[in-house]
């Protein structure tokens, strides 16, 4: 599935009723089977952009276009959130089946698909466990399995591993890449971690400070499949340094502008 973002803008009102521009004139295309990361400083509109693509947040201007075929009855997108967002009263399998229930999938097919995606995400044998009986990494695997089970045309991920420790995060990053290699779904992946974005993605979209605008789209020249050894690859290091220079330069320019506007105090 191809995702086309055209001149997308988002303005909302703060608590005092003042207009705040979160996103401004975003133009972006995500190709079929492409893994695209969206990166930028806190408050730049990364999650807002993802929410608009997923239909959870209305845009103020512009539009989102989906082009391509999808499975009959499958949703255009499904989202994996930073918070685990699992129902505590449901087992791992019942959590994975939830989206399928909403789509009206028959019980036997729901169970079959849920077991299959739990196995794919490394949770075979944990189908009857409740969220409180699982580690943080395992709960996030359940969330990933739930999103995959509805077989969306596009998978959206909003900083899915940021709450995990470094070792678990690296393991899940590699597992996600292995799953993507099997499913070949288009993925839009939001993160604030430059190294993570470069390691995972085909391209990294770098957003400016608010209002979020695209500073650059960086092609990542790393071979696939990817593993931990590539964290020291010169191509990864160069891409990380390039993106960091973009973000740092934009932050310094914004600070200079702010100092110019603000008179010095006595």
Residue 133 domain-assigned (yes or no)? yes
For the chain, give the longest Cα–Cα distance. 74
Q: Quote the pLDDT of residue 263.
A: 59
Q: What is the CATH number of the domain that holds 156?
A: 3.40.50.300
Residue 266 domain-assigned (yes or no)? no
DSSP 43-101: TSSHHHHHHHHTTSS--SEEEEEEES---TT--SEEEE-SS----TTS-HHHHHHHHHH
DSSP 176-226: HHHHHHHH--EEEEEES-HHHHHHH-SEEEEE-SSSB-EEEEEEP---SS-
Q: Quote the pLDDT of residue 266.
A: 43
Q: Print the domain residue range for 90.
A: 2-261
Residue 163 domain-assigned (yes or no)? yes
Q: Quote the pLDDT of residue 96.
A: 97
Residue 252 has pLDDT above 60, yes or no: yes
Q: Work out how many domains the chain is built from and give that number.
A: 1
Residue 226 domain-assigned (yes or no)? yes
Residue 264 has pLDDT above 60, yes or no: no
Distance of alpha carbon 121 from its chain centroid, rounded? 17
Average pLDDT, integer, range 76-96: 92
Residue 84 domain-assigned (yes or no)? yes
**Mean pLDDT of the residues in the chain:** 91
Residue 86 domain-assigned (yes or no)? yes
Q: Quote the pLDDT of residue 174.
A: 92
pLDDT in tens, 147-184: 999 999 999 999 998 888 888 899 999 999 999 999 88
Residue 140 domain-assigned (yes or no)? yes
Residue 94 domain-assigned (yes or no)? yes
Reported as type and span, the H/E element at residue 259 is helix 234-261
264 vs 245 pLDDT, higher one: 245
pTM: 0.91
């Amino acid at each position: 599935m191809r995702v086309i973002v055209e001149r997308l803008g988002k303005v909302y009102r703060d608590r005092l009723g003042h207009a705040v521009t979160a996103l401004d004139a975003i133009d972006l295309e995500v190709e079929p089977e492409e893994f695209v990361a969206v990166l930028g400083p806190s408050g730049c509109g990364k999650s807002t952009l993802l929410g608009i693509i997923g239909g959870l947040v209305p845009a103020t201007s512009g539009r989102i276009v989906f082009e391509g075929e999808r499975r009959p009855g499958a949703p255009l997108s499904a989202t994996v959130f930073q918070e685990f967002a699992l129902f505590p009263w449901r087992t791992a399998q019942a959590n994975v089946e939830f989206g399928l229930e909403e789509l009206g999938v028959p019980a036997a097919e729901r169970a079959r698909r849920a077991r299959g995606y739990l196995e794919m995400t490394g949770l075979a044998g944990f189908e009857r466990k409740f969220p409180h009986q699982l580690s943080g990494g395992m709960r996030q695997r359940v969330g990933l399995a739930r999103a995959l089970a509805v077989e969306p045309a596009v998978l959206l991920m909003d900083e899915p591993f940021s709450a995990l420790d470094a070792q678990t995060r690296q393991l899940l990053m590699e597992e996600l890449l292995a799953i993507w290699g099997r499913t070949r779904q288009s993925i839009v992946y939001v993160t604030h971690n430059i190294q993570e974005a470069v390691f995972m993605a085909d391209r990294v979209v770098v957003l400016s400070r608010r209002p979020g605008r695209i500073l650059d789209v960086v092609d990542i020249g790393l071979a696939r499949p990817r593993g931990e050894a590539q964290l020291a690859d010169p191509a990864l290091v160069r891409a990380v340094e390039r993106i960091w220079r973009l973000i740092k330069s934009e932050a310094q320019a914004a600070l200079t502008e702010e100092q110019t506007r603000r008179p010095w105090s006595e």
